[in-house]
Amino acid sequence: GNSVTQMEGPVTLSEEAFLTINCTYTATGYPSLFWYVQYPGEGLQLLLKATKADDKGSNKGFEATYRKETTSFHLEKGSVQVSDSAVYFCALRLDSNYQLIWGAGTKLIIKP
């Protein structure tokens, strides 16, 4: 079946550290891939997306590249800030459907 696996958290880093949150997927067909973020007390927000292989999504200093050969969509940021502390969710959506299929979420804690 279709599924998303992302690294367990919490991930704790110091400010200005390099961030990687791993995400791999299993899907039939050619999914679109997403990263959503949930800041404390807020709803889910779309962070970035990619629709086809080798596409790179980017926003707010975060990047993720759609890697079909490794079925991955890892989230990276070169220098994290305290304000990046949140829960990050990787998700996919198939062309034939509209529902989002989610990973379990990774809590990120950035210490000053």
Partner 1 sequence: EAGVTQFPSHSVIEKGQTVTLRCDPISGHDNLYWYRRVMGKEIKFLLHFVKESKQDESGMPNNRFLAERTGGTYSTLKVQPAELEDSGVYFCASSQDGRGLNEQFFGPGTRLTVL
List residues binding partner 1 (CB under 8 A): 4, 32, 36, 41-46, 49, 51, 89, 91, 95, 98-105
Start-to-end CA distance of the chain, whole Å, equals 41
Q: How far is the CB of 43 from partner 1 (least distance, A)?
A: 4
Q: How far is the CB of 55 from partner 1 (least distance, A)?
A: 11
- Residue number, 4 or 86, with CB nearest to partner 1: 4
- Residue number, 17 or 100, with CB nearest to partner 1: 100
- C-alpha triplet 96, 57, 41: angle, nearest 5°: 90
Alpha-carbon gap, residue 88 to 101, rounded angstroms? 14
- Residue number, 29 or 98, with CB nearest to partner 1: 98
- Residue number, 43 or 112, with CB nearest to partner 1: 43
Alpha-carbon gap, residue 50 to 72, rounded angstroms? 11
Q: How far is the CB of 79 from partner 1 (least distance, A)?
A: 27
Write out the two tokens for 5: 């696996």
Q: How far is the CB of 30 from partner 1 (least distance, A)?
A: 13
Please give the distance of CA 56 from its chain centroid, rounded to a whole number.
12
Alpha-carbon gap, residue 3 to 95, rounded angstroms? 15
